[in-house]
Amino acid sequence: MSASSIPVIRRGEPHTLSTRGITLLRAGHREVRRLKREHIPSIHGNKVWNSSFLIMDELNRTRAGLGLGADTHLMDIGCGWGPLSIYVAKRFGARVTAVDADQDVFPYLELHAAINRVEVTPLRCRFEKLTRQRLDGVDVITGADICFWDELTPVLYNLIRRALGQGVRRIIIADPGRSPFYALAERCQAHLNARLVERRTQTPKALSAELLIIDRD
Ligand SMILES: C[S@@+](CC[C@H](N)C(=O)[O-])C[C@H]1O[C@@H](n2cnc3c(N)ncnc32)[C@H](O)[C@@H]1O
């Protein structure tokens, strides 16, 4: 997006959400409605999902231990409109690769990156196609609201194993509590260095999510 085409978003204007130092657009915002005429996401990437806020808070809380900064490469899988990708790029100055299978989410990601004045690298790729080569050099993987179908459980488990084998230090997947996510958590806790923690926030509204946190041994 060229500098002259970046829409001006006024603080507090309708259908915007400012939280944790970033600005997000809701489905009713004029810029979102404009994009919707041409791009209709088809795998639920049709809004900013809530679990992402709990991962933001977890990253902020643990940033020192994780060494989050300009030298960190974070991969946000199933990025959708990119709330988490944008937060990480803005808050920590980290290098961010925003991965999604659905090409129609990327215009919304680009819009959010532009209005927040950050750069993230988009990558259209399915979880199952994220090869060891792609995962090489990635330090942290995040994924908010990405384990919502039974068939995603083995796909994500295998991706987690590939990522750990490639040297990824921490993986955080968040979910409000769907059964495919709990199946993933059980499998990870049985075989990997994984834990499940419940997190809550009051911002932007009262929310809770389970965080599956997997560390390299
Ligand atoms: C519920 S949305 C969550 C979006 C974003 N993480 C958020 O917090 O707003 C799930 C996202 O995962 C993507 N997705 C679903 N299955 C996928 C797959 N197999 N590979 C890559 N992305 C996938 C969808 O296209 C969608 O953007």
Two tokens at 1? 């997006």
User: What CATH number should be reported for the domain holding residue 128?
Assistant: 3.40.50.150
Hey, what amino acid is at 186?
E
Question: Per the structure, how many domains does the chain have?
Answer: 1
Q: Which residue range(s) make up the domain with 70?
A: 3-215
d(CA 17, CA 20): 10
CA distances from 148 to 5, 17, 61, 145, 192 (A): 35, 25, 26, 7, 21
Q: What is the pLDDT of residue 15?
A: 96
Q: Which atom of ligand 1 is nearest to the CA of 52?
A: 8
CB-ligand 1 contact for 78 (6 Å cutoff):
yes
The 3-state DSSP composition of the chain as helix, strand, coil percent (nearest 5) reads 40, 25, 40
CB-ligand 1 contact for 98 (6 Å cutoff):
no
d(CA 168, CA 175): 21
Two tokens at 130? 């994220």
Q: Is 179 in a helix, a strand, or coil?
A: helix
Q: What is the pLDDT of residue 188?
A: 98
Say whether pTM exceeds 0.95.
yes
Helices 51-61 and 83-92 cross at an angle (nearest 10°) of 20
d(CA 154, CA 122): 24
d(CA 140, CA 74): 5
pLDDT by residue for the chain (217 residues), tens only, comes to 787 788 888 888 999 999 999 999 999 999 999 999 999 999 999 999 999 999 999 999 999 999 999 999 999 999 999 999 999 999 999 999 999 999 999 999 999 999 999 999 999 999 999 999 999 999 999 999 999 999 999 999 999 999 999 999 999 999 999 999 999 999 999 999 999 999 999 999 999 999 999 999 8
Q: What is the pLDDT of residue 10?
A: 83
Q: Which atom of ligand 1 is nearest to the CA of 49?
A: 9
CB-ligand 1 contact for 83 (6 Å cutoff):
yes
User: How far is ligand 1, taken at its centre, from the CA of residue 85, in Å?
Assistant: 13
CB-ligand 1 contact for 48 (6 Å cutoff):
yes
Q: What is the pLDDT of residue 131?
A: 98
Q: What is the pLDDT of residue 4?
A: 76
CB-ligand 1 contact for 76 (6 Å cutoff):
no
Hey, what amino acid is at 174?
A
Q: What is the pLDDT of residue 204?
A: 96
- E strand segments, 22-120: 22-25, 73-77, 95-100
CB-ligand 1 contact for 100 (6 Å cutoff):
yes
